[in-house]
Amino acid sequence: DAIKHSGGTSALTIDSSGNVHKAGFVVQVARTYSANSGYIQTTSTSLVASGFQCSLTPKFSNSLILVDFVSSMGDGDADTLKAKMYLKIGSASIASMPGAEQYHIGFNGTSFNRYSPNCFSGSYTATSTDTLMFEPYILSNGGGNVRLAHTQSSVGLTVMEIAQ
């Protein structure tokens, strides 16, 4: 159990391991990074898992979780790519992050934004200390080949817990 002390203008929280955390400070960071990801691609017209994941187990049940994803080079190779960030909480089924719309991460086509980066910066407020797993999901608008990441491009997914 966490012990909280509110004194003066700042609140301190001590977790069960004896670690002291001040509200607004970074508790922990998890990162998945590939300097040369190879293709992350699909021809599916339904959202499918990219296979690029990052997990974090919150130390506090009310923490703010910051999520940042970037692929330095996407590719609407033969169609239009759409991408969303998905979230799995504990043993529950994976689902799109709350508020995720169809262009949540990116939108690349053959004649526009073809080789542009795909980026996402969002947040989630934890409601438990169950493990959180984040993963971009992608689809091809018309069934042609699309790529969230192009060969020789870098991909990074960072998840950060902020004490509340």
HSE-CB of 69 using CA atoms within 13 angstroms: 25
Mean pLDDT of 90-119: 89
Q: Is residue 2 pLDDT above 60, yes or no?
A: no
pTM for this prediction: 0.87
Of residues 75 and 8, the one with the higher pLDDT is 75
Do the Cβ atoms of 22 and 58 come closer than 8 Å?
A: no
